[in-house]
Structure 1
Amino acid sequence: MEKQSKSRKIDFFRRLPDFISHRILSFLGFKDIARFSTLSTKCRELCLTLPVLTIELGNASGKELYKFNAFSHSFTSLNNEADVHQFKAEKYGQTLGGDHHIGNWILEATKSNVENIILRFNKFKIFSLPSGLSNSACLRDLEVRMNPQGLLNLPTTSFVGLEKLKLRDVRVSTNFDEWISSCKSLKMVHLHAVTCVNTLNLSSLSLEDLILKDMLVGSPNFNIKVSAERLRNLRIVWLYAPQPSQSLTLHAPKLEQFSWGGLVSHYSCEGNLESLSKSNISIDFNDERVALGIIGQVFQSIYRVSSISICDYSIKEISSPELLPEFSNLHSLTLKCTNSSIEIPSAISLLNLMPHLNSLKINGCHPSEKMEKSFSSEYWESQNLKFVHSLNEVDMHISGEHNEIELIKYLLKNAKSLKMLTIRFNTRILPCERSEISKKIRQFQVASSSSAIYFFIDH
């Protein structure tokens, strides 16, 4: 019975197209693939032509690593005639000489025209990529994840064909930015929690996608300079403390999407962002005296966008809207509120710059202990906001405070083109309070005969 069962399993794989069998086998680790290869000639052929190789070593000792290295060398040497799409190596412990063996496996994979290399070493203090890797003509994607103290040594020469680079939880050397700039085919760079020097100067004619997230530096100031003729997406986000104060100098004439968050001390944009369509701004400032200057410079460079998302603390110092540009192309605005007492005068200054707004979303309101100022619907009426006449859609997160209800009252009364109003209740609001607020809103005067009001609980 056991032989028949095993035979049936082999017949099952024999009947499948190779690309489906390879897909199934790609979920197995290297040792399991080796075992599977002994079942039959067909299984051996499938394993030796597998486009994905995954080596999971866990906490293997030095002796186990040595034995496994001999075995893997024998196995991969048989696999040389087949192309390997992805090579992945994972090790969770530090082993003396482990990086040497892994370096050999990487070089073996390059002989099989590997395109994608993924390396994850949670406990390595240092890992050096083999110098021969830079000679690989087929390598396109490289991803390395270590730990915040782990040092990644890169080859001194550039990677000729590398297009995508992802680094997370690693330390890099002082000439890291020079090395990136020297990779002439590099299109995407994602750096997450990467520890580097106090300056990152990236100059590239090929780079299209750049993400810098929670970078770690040894100084309170971090100078970022990006000069990239083809850059389309730029995302710089610092979410966690301690965060450095960023200084950004940007030259990206073809930029389409720009997200920027964290503490900021300086901003400069060289040239015009004529292709920019979407922006997400969540910047804060150490010195309130320079806040207006920086946010004004940001607005001057992004005023062509059609969609923008912005935090309330980014606009809290807007006091001279006449110095700011008009967002004549803007159709969608998302205001992200860190508390429910948003700086309403600053918000009005911003809204006055957006005469053709179609969609307004106010996200993230939370109940505050005390409401400092009260703004009635009559106050909103007195502002003569142009955007209200083109408004089609409103989406608001509310905590049930007076200012929120009064804003809703104003919008319903004046937005003649409004088609949909969505109210999202904070979960802290009791069911009886939600019912009372809903009833009150439904009784407000409505200017648009085609508008619909929806109520949800914001989970």
Structure 2
Amino acid sequence: MMAQKRKSLATGSCEGEGLCTVNMIDRFSNLPEGVIHHILSDFVVKDLARFCCVSKRWRELCLSSPSVNFCGFNTDEMADMACELRLKLVNTLDRFLLSRGDNEMKSFCLFWDGHSDEELDEPCFCVNENFRINTWIQNAVRCKVEKVHLAVAYFDFEGEPIAFPSCIFRSSSLRSLVVEMPHTVFKTPSFTFSSNLKRLDLRDIIIQDEGFFKWISCSCKSLKDISLTDCEIYNVTIESSSLEKFDFFNYMIFETCHINISGGKLEEINVNCYHSPSSAVLKIVAPNVKRLLLEGNVKNDLNLGELNCLEEAAILMEPIVDEFDKVYEVLSSLCSVKVLVLNEATIKAACKEERVQVQLDEVWYLQMKIGSFTDDLVPAVVCLLRGTPELCTLYIRYKPTSLVPKYNTSRFDIEYWKMQNLGFISQVEDVTIELSAGFNGIELARYILEHAENLEKMVIRYLAEQSNDIGKLKESKMNSNPMVTFEEYERSI
């Protein structure tokens, strides 16, 4: 009895203080191996290294985990870490990979900040990190890795670009590759090898050889998604029968840059180019594209081809005064678009009073991102609304570029809006208007409230200084019985 009592007390103490480590380990170890590996997949290498010390069973599980994450290192700590400590860390990671052997690797994630001391005349021995990092990548390839995510700043002493390990492009198992490696050059892989890549995401890298994109066109027959962000690129020409999505985001592109994208399966294209030179060219041949984003300066030749399947588009360009023809041509090609987002500069450029209006008969959702509702903007907005007779949802969003309100914002009253005979007014059901300075926006809101016979919902957001005018707007005689909400908001850039 005394022995049983001691056992009972011991068990109670263990449960109360959370000391039943052995039982917890047994419960974890008895789970199916696939479930354990799924749990371990989110662990960084520091945690896996700790678990390796718990027991032989845990060590086997951690070393056979198909997910290896060399992440979780504090960036500031690594920047201040002495060379000796960095060397110990690198050696530890080497040993971890060596202990894994040839265990299959589903995913490999590496986030690493290189070390450099600018005060030194010669590189410290941390320069060897570059070789070790390349060895880790080679190890992942050898272990038949499927997903690779690399965010690496190599050690940079001489200032010369560093070649990206080409072995990764010879991997038949690789399906997804994300690379963010400044000062790193991508060279053209061998055309004799057919890649099974499905996703390629490159950020802040250098591609000087046009052959790299030719390799994508010829050797990546399974590629569905490609994204290029802030890369040093001169020309992009991709003709792909498998590509479904293409993203190009660059704030600075080069003088002779040509972007040519062609693909019968392309459904989504996002191109964002600011500060593009006058000689840059954008050509898109994607007859089945459904979603399109064009954002940035229009100082180039645009050739969008046929867009008969287009459903959603955001045209947020910043054309200069004499280039409205290009914007007008772009909007005129959106004959089938149903959801459309435009910014103020695009509206002004495409909808000049002396031009024939853009006809967008299929649009049922329209969002306009504008600053103050100035007098020179109102005719362009009217021209645009005339071309959207089937509009059901209208969102006029306030997107200012300055805290200083613009003047000349009160010329057009409700009588002006009545005279325009806008076809959408009988169709529109849902309206949101964010008001800015002046009365032009308020008068448009009044016109919609009083004449939209099918209006079901309207949200009017206003600035604090417009409170008195909003009080009068609330007294409008509505043509229907919509749910109307008034919300005060703060001015912002």
- Partner letter of residue 88 of structure 1? C
CA distance in 2, matches of 1:32, 1:452: 54
CA distance in 2, matches of 1:151, 1:358: 49
| Native 8 Å contact 1:191 1:215 kept in 2 | no
CA distance in 1, matches of 2:450, 2:409: 25
Q: Equivalent of 1:258, from 285, 292, 307?
A: 292
- Partner letter of residue 319 of structure 1? K
Match of 1:413 in 2: 450
Match of 2:484 in 1: 453
Q: Residue 38 of structure 1: CA displacement?
A: 2.8
* SS of match in other structure, 1:409: helix
Map 1:88-99; keep pairs closer than 5 Å. 88-94=109-115, 95-99=126-130
Q: 1:124 to 1:144 in 2, by over 3 A?
A: farther
1:290 aligns with 2:340: no
CA distance in 2, matches of 1:262, 1:211: 14
* SS of match in other structure, 2:460: strand
- Partner letter of residue 119 of structure 1? L
Percentage of identical aligned residues:
25
| Native 8 Å contact 1:267 1:297 kept in 2 | no
Q: Equivalent of 1:211, from 232, 247, 253?
A: 247
Match of 2:49 in 1: 34
Q: 1:123 to 1:353 in 2, by over 3 A?
A: same
Q: Residue 76 of structure 1: CA displacement?
A: 2.6
- Partner letter of residue 424 of structure 1? R
Match of 1:75 in 2: 99
* SS of match in other structure, 2:431: strand
| Native 8 Å contact 2:372 2:406 kept in 1 | no
CA distance in 2, matches of 1:16, 1:115: 25
| Native 8 Å contact 2:308 2:335 kept in 1 | no
1:404 aligns with 2:441: yes
Q: 1:322 to 1:217 in 2, by over 3 A?
A: closer
Match of 2:171 in 1: 136
CA distance in 1, matches of 2:261, 2:352: 30
* SS of match in other structure, 1:96: helix
* SS of match in other structure, 1:71: helix
CA distance in 2, matches of 1:178, 1:13: 49
Q: Deviations over 1:325-353 (max 9, x none)?
A: 52111101001103332611111111111
| Native 8 Å contact 1:400 1:437 kept in 2 | no
* SS of match in other structure, 2:299: strand
Match of 1:169 in 2: 204
| Native 8 Å contact 1:195 1:215 kept in 2 | no
Q: Residue 157 of structure 1: CA displacement?
A: 2.1
Q: Equivalent of 2:133, from 102, 105, 126?
A: 102
- Partner letter of residue 142 of structure 2? K
Q: Deviations over 1:8-59 (max 9, x none)?
A: 4423422544444334423332243133123223312321331210124645
Q: Residue 442 of structure 1: CA displacement?
A: 1.7
Match of 1:338 in 2: 371
Q: Residue 63 of structure 1: CA displacement?
A: 3.5
Q: Residue 266 of structure 1: CA displacement?
A: 3.5
Match of 1:84 in 2: 105
CA distance in 2, matches of 1:3, 1:372: 69
Match of 1:327 in 2: 360
| Native 8 Å contact 2:353 2:380 kept in 1 | no
RMSD, aligned CA: 2.7
CA distance in 2, matches of 1:131, 1:169: 17
**Matched pairs, number:** 442
CA distance in 1, matches of 2:202, 2:488: 38
Q: Deviations over 1:275-320 (max 9, x none)?
A: 100000011223x2231x1122102221210110001111213226
Q: Which moved more, 1:52-61 or 1:403-412?
A: 52-61
CA distance in 2, matches of 1:66, 1:289: 57
- Partner letter of residue 270 of structure 2? R
Match of 1:249 in 2: 283
CA distance in 2, matches of 1:412, 1:352: 18
Q: Residue 324 of structure 1: CA displacement?
A: 4.8
Q: Which moved more, 1:334-343 or 1:159-168?
A: 334-343
- Partner letter of residue 248 of structure 1? L
Match of 1:368 in 2: 405
Q: Which moved more, 1:349-358 or 1:163-172?
A: 163-172
Q: Residue 65 of structure 1: CA displacement?
A: 6.0
| Native 8 Å contact 2:344 2:370 kept in 1 | yes
* SS of match in other structure, 1:229: coil
| Native 8 Å contact 2:260 2:284 kept in 1 | yes
CA distance in 2, matches of 1:222, 1:348: 36
Q: Residue 145 of structure 1: CA displacement?
A: 1.0
* SS of match in other structure, 2:36: helix
CA distance in 2, matches of 1:218, 1:124: 27
- Partner letter of residue 92 of structure 2? F
1:185 aligns with 2:222: yes
CA distance in 1, matches of 2:291, 2:70: 37
* SS of match in other structure, 1:103: helix
Q: Residue 189 of structure 1: CA displacement?
A: 1.0
Q: 1:181 to 1:27 in 2, by over 3 A?
A: same
TM-score under structure 1 length normalisation: 0.88
Q: Residue 321 of structure 1: CA displacement?
A: 7.3
1:43 aligns with 2:62: no
CA distance in 2, matches of 1:244, 1:23: 48
Question: Highest Rg: 1 or 2?
Answer: 2
| Native 8 Å contact 2:141 2:167 kept in 1 | no
Match of 1:391 in 2: 428
